[in-house]
Amino acid sequence: MNKNLVNTMESLTTLGGFSYNSFLLDRYSA
């Protein structure tokens, strides 16, 4: 598999996880 593609996928996964965690924190801290 293309290394750049893997890096991009990992970056998207990390960003998605961070956004999801932020959403949960906002939801439960409110």
Q: What is the DSSP string of the chain?
A: --HHHHHHHHHHHHHHHHHHHHHHHHHHH-
Report the half-sphere exposure of 5 (CA within 13 A, side-chain side): 2
Angle at the Cα of 23 from the Cα atoms of 18 and 13, rounded to 5 degrees: 25
The pLDDT tens digits for 2-27 are 899 888 888 888 888 888 888 888 88
The pLDDT of residue 30 is 64
3-6: Cβ within 8 A, 24+ apart = none
The pLDDT of residue 6 is 87
pLDDT at 1 over 80: no
Q: pTM of the entire structure?
A: 0.45
Q: Is the dihedral of CA 11, 14, 20, 25 positive or negative?
A: negative
